[in-house]
Structure 1
Amino acid sequence: MHGFGAPSPWVMRWSHLLPEGGSVLDIACGAGRHMRWFAGRDHVVTGVDRSPEAVAAASHFGRVLQADIESGPWPFAGEQFDAVVVTHYLWRPLLPRIVAAVAPSGVLLYETFAAGNESVGKPSRPDFLLRPGELLAASAGLRVVAYEDGFLDDPARFVQRIAAVRPAGASARYPLEAPPRQLTITPRL
């Protein structure tokens, strides 16, 4: 179970984008490392994980739900949050729902493993690795503030990560009305 360590440097770096006291949804929250980070900054936090142990640990930081979001219903239908945080988790069928959960003026902070990671370790199955530009494409309709797609050292891994904001007054559409464009941008890290 992930979550007992420090928050992701990417999440910490871009957390200033959400409004003071804003609501945060942490998807696949583990033991709540990001919930702890945001709760400590006076945000209202919600986490979801399928592990009962993870939910028990994360419950110290805010509202938690134990749910299998891959095979069960989406537990946040109709809800939006000032920030949606996802790290080290990928289930492609949920990407449109995750993006739709970002409120107007809200931020998506997403970081997970990318293609190429199979050459340095786990995860190595394509099901768990973002394809080039996939996170950008999934975030269509949001204004990208920062995006990285490449190799990081210590530990060695390939990642994609994005910080993107839903413009004020823009509404979320789910399901997406048109498939997003595939873009490939690989900045130097």
Structure 2
Amino acid sequence: MSKDASEWVRRFLPGVRPGGRVLDVACGSGRHLSLALGAGYVVTGIDRDTSRARDTLTGEAGRWPANVDLVELDLEDGSPFPVPAGTCDGVIVTNYLWRPLLPGIVAAVSHTGLLIYETFATGNGRFGKPSNPAFLLQPGELIDVVAGRLTPIAYEHVHLRDPDRYVQRIAAVGLKHDWLRDPPAF
């Protein structure tokens, strides 16, 4: 399943400290949990229905793997973000946007941590769903969200193909992340 992982997540996941704690927000099928687990991270996935992630992770290992925690809860019920500030070495969010959670997601990243975020952006409606502006990032929105808390390492607001879609994505690090002293080579 990790073969289906986002290219953006694959590119930046190595920036999480070895053996660190990775949180996947709205983890869906668990494709990024699987990738992170395979890379040696301790993983936590949150979703309103974790059954697909559970099936993916159990199926790949043939049993329930160690270093995995799945939390089933409705992220959109108005409750505060359920992860304490500064406790994650890596936070992954793909194909999900619920603006009230953005401050909590950013705050969850430790000072040496990394946020990897990729979701649909303005203009995507011409290709299909999502098309509701409430679920599409505006140009520069992720830059604004991390300002003052994390430092962007990479950012794009682009049209991708196969399938056609508009996405916005960012990789941003905590203020004491090693990449600020020694940037990665790609």
Letter in 1 for 2:138: R
Q: Is the 2:22–2:42 contact (alpha carbons within 8 Å) kept by the matching residues of 1?
A: yes
CA contact (8 A) 2:50 2:70 kept: no
Residue deviations 1:156-181 (CA, integer Å, cap 9, x gap):
00000000001119xxxxxxxxxxxx
| 1:137 maps to which of 140, 144, 149 | 144
1:106-121 correspondence runs (5 A): 106-121=113-128
Aligned letter for 1:76?
Answer: V
Letter in 2 for 1:82: D
Structure 1 partner of 2:30 = 32
What's the counterpart of residue 102 of structure 1?
109
Please give the per-residue CA displacement for 1:26-79, whole angstroms capped at 9, x wherever unaligned: 000012100100100110000000014235335645100000011053322346
Where do 5+ consecutive residues of structure 2 fail to align?
A: 59-64, 178-186
Q: Which runs of 4+ in 1 moved over 4 A?
A: none
RMSD (Å) for aligned C-alpha atoms: 1.8
Q: Which residue of 1 aligns with 2:181?
A: none
Whether the 8 Å CA contact 1:84–1:108 is kept in 2: the answer is: yes
Alignment partner, residue 89 of structure 1 = 96
> Whole-Å Cα distance in 1 between the matches of residues 113 and 84 of structure 2?
17
The DSSP-based 3-state class of the residue aligned with 1:89 is coil
Residue-pair matches, total: 167
**Structure 1 unpaired stretches of 5+:** 170-189
The answer to whether the 8 A contact 1:29-1:58 is kept is: no
Q: Aligned residue for 1:64?
A: 70
Q: Pick closer, same or farther for the CA change 1:153–1:59 going to 2, 3 Å.
A: closer
Identity of aligned residues (%): 48
2:75 partner SS: coil
Written as runs of structure 1 = structure 2, the 5 A alignment for 1:3-18 is: 6-18=4-16
How far apart in 2 are the matches of 1:79 and 1:105? 9
2:158/2:166 contact within 8 Å kept: yes
Distance 1:94 1:161, change over 3 A: same
Distance (whole Å) between structure 1 residues aligned to residue 5 and residue 53 of structure 2: 17
Residue identity matched to 1:142 = L
TM-score with structure 2 length normalisation? 0.84
Q: 1:72 to 1:59 in 2, by over 3 A?
A: farther
